[in-house]
Amino acid sequence: MAFFPAALDNLIDRFASLPGVGRKSAQRLAFYVLSMPDEEAIGFADTIRAAKKEVKRCRVCRNYTDHEICPICSSDRRDRSVICVVSDPKDVLSIERAREYNGLYHVLHGVISPMNHIGPDDIGVKELLVRAANEEVREVIMATNPDTEGEATAIYISRLLKPFGLKVTRLAYGIPVGSNLEFADDATLTRALEGRTEI
């Protein structure tokens, strides 16, 4: 016997299909949506449709935008000689927040992952090479995540970039600022020692 109407079960299923949302949370979210005023719930539905319809990838850097070319790529205040390669649009946000970087970006939307059948063609590597061929570009910073796949992707791309004769760099590894040595893992400590600088 079904205790919930089909339309409610469907909504629970949809929420449960989102990443990091378990069955119990999906139930809670679905009940919450039902308890919303009508116009709010419909507004939620419309926001999903609108985001899907209006948000595109920038033709240059592949970051999300509602223009043909995103505000960063079309800005005349950015340094066009550096491209920072990240795996996700949210990484652009993280780097912008640090207010240290003023170059351009290239968003891969993923990393190379043979296990998940994601190859270089799926993450816009070709588009990056086309951009790197532009003589204005002097440096490419690899800022994929410091995990196995991010690392492998960075190494793969940097090899392809070698023939272009430009500087290819990687974000520094080390102890996070404000953290505690006690909690740093061995791999991080090893990298921090290797990368030590004179004071």
Footprint on this chain of a copy of itself (rule: CB under 8 A): 1-8, 10-11, 14, 18-21, 25, 27-36, 38, 41-55, 63-67, 71-72, 88-90, 92-93, 96, 109
Two structure tokens written together for 53: 């319809």
Q: What is the largest CA-CA distance in the chain?
A: 71
What does the alpha-carbon distance between residue 172 and residue 84 come to, in Å, rounded to a whole number?
14
- Whether 2 and 9 have beta carbons less than 8 Å apart is answered as yes
Least CB distance to a copy of itself at residue 159 (A):
27
Least CB distance to a copy of itself at residue 74 (A):
12
Q: Nearer Cβ to a copy of itself, position 78 or 191?
A: 78
Q: Nearer Cβ to a copy of itself, position 48 or 172?
A: 48
Radius of gyration of the chain (CA): 22
Q: Nearer Cβ to a copy of itself, position 91 or 132?
A: 91
Q: Nearer Cβ to a copy of itself, position 71 or 119?
A: 71
Least CB distance to a copy of itself at residue 105 (A):
10
A 10 A CB-CB count for 36 gives 12
- Whether 132 and 83 have beta carbons less than 8 Å apart is answered as yes
- Whether 60 and 54 have beta carbons less than 8 Å apart is answered as no
Dihedrals phi, psi of 80, to nearest 5 degrees: -85, 5
Element (H, E) at 196: none
Closest C-alpha among 135, 142, 41 to residue 86: 142
Least CB distance to a copy of itself at residue 194 (A):
31
Least CB distance to a copy of itself at residue 154 (A):
21
Q: Nearer Cβ to a copy of itself, position 14 or 170?
A: 14
